[in-house]
Amino acid sequence: MADSSTTPVPAKRAVVTGASTGIGDATVRALAATGWTVYAVARRADRLAALAAETGALAVPADITNDDDVAALVAAVTAGGGIDTLVNISGGARGVDPVAEADADDWDWMYRVNVLGTMKLTKAFLPMLRAGRNGTVLNLTSFAALVSYEGGAGYNAAKAAQRAMTQALRLEEVGNNLRVIEVLPGLVRTEEFSLHRLGGDRASADAVYSGVAEPLTAADVADIIAYAVNAPHHVNLDEIVVRPVAQAAAHKIIRASAGD
């Protein structure tokens, strides 16, 4: 019998999407820091190049909603030795309109990026993840998938659909020993999420977090993702809901008053 103290630990290899900013960037850093080989995927090649230089990650610029880009990504990863873990971070929100004033283009974008992008990447990598019999898919959804709120219908709908897909995937792939994890963050302050959602209006984006002493950070969520995928493979953290202490529920966030 092999001495477990001298048996090499298999190298861990992952694709992380949305790697040019926020939680995706932080996840690449967290995994690389614990010895993973990480393929960092996003559209912005300049940001990926900088991230790769800092972390040793492998930069692969790609649009996850584009079939040709997805095929090229799979080819690059295959040539590099494959992966055992897919971390789907790419996503986002656009707009805060009520349904009565909904912008169909915003809804279309949210569905394509959050749902179809996740589907395309997962479908493309499933043969590789199945082959090793110890694959993992981790999807970043949102607390918005659980509780709807005024002005959030488009994002609520997209994230709820992504969550439903994640749950179905877990049932479909358990026979292949595929571990499927869902992380559902609440209020996370990142450099771009609210800014993009609110059309580049910096004052409105900052107001989302106004008075909240300690919203979650991208690094907080990345640490949780790293913990989940570093756990022994037989341990499946099916659903991880994480919010700052100040956010007791979707409708209850503690904010300091202007005089505090």
Give percent helix, percent strand, percent coil of the chain, each to the nearest 5: 45, 15, 40
Annotated catalytic residue, options 111, 155, 209, 227: 155
Identify the DSSP state of 132. T
- Give me 17's structure tokens: 């999407």
- Give me 227's structure tokens: 């913990």
Residues 181 and 219 sit within 8 Å (Cβ to Cβ)? no
C-alpha 216/C-alpha 214 separation (Å) is 6
Question: Known catalytic residue: 155?
Answer: yes
Q: Look-up: residue for tokens 């909603």?
A: 65
Number of other CB atoms surrounding residue 234 within 10 Å: 8
Angle between helix 22-33 and helix 45-55 axes, rounded to 10 deg? 20
- CA distance readout (Å), 82 to 66, 120, 144: 21, 17, 33
Catalytic sites, residue numbers: 155
